[in-house]
Amino acid sequence: LTASLSRTPFEGIPGTQVAVTARGFGANERVTVTWKTATGPTLGTATTNASGTATLTITIPDSGFGWTDYTAVGATTGIRAYGAIQVLASTTVSPTSTSPGQRVTVSGRGFPAGKGVTAAWNKTSTNVGSQLCAGTVSATGTYSCAFTVPTENAGTYPVTLTSADGTARSANAVA
């Protein structure tokens, strides 16, 4: 048997649900899908039909930016199949509606693991913005920091996380 995996969608931010179809496994076999390696965290299990095909929904876990492997292993046959999902970065602010002097948290998921990262207020393609905080992205691609909203005129302002490799994502805060 030659096993294969397919997925829809093929990319997403951590938390995105992905439909995975496993083909070429044994009939009525339990198939376990794991993240990164055959012994990595379990994303889900399914039992194949008489044709050796199963479909299940997995959720992209916190992971660094870029292509990440996932694998499926048949419990009876030991057959393995491999695939990859592209993890994308995202940024959120909480609360999104705020005022000058209030504490706000900016969080990123799916950023390049282990890279330096900065958070900036009102950073755009034509404005460098004001640096709010800086640190290092975790091994699972996450970063979070709290900051005090600067004194500004009322309006909507982007809060941008930028990693050392240039990966940048923004979320808006209304001040």
Q: Which of 127, 29, 107, 13 is nearest to 68 (CA)?
A: 13
Q: What percent of the chain has pLDDT over 90?
A: 90
Query: How many C-alpha atoms does 10 have within 13 Å on its Cβ side?
Result: 5
The count of other CB atoms within 10 Å of the CB of residue 160 is 21
Per-chain mean pLDDT for the chain: 95
Confidence of residue 1 (pLDDT cuts 50, 70, 90): low
Question: Which residues touch 126 (CB under 8 Å, ≥6 apart)?
Answer: none
Query: Mind listing the pLDDT tens digit for each residue in 79-126?
Result: 999 999 999 999 999 999 998 999 999 999 999 999 999 999 999 889
The whole-number pLDDT of residue 82 equals: 96
Question: For residue 160, which of 150, 170, 149 has the smallest C-alpha distance?
Answer: 170
Omega before 95 cis (within 30°)? Answer: yes
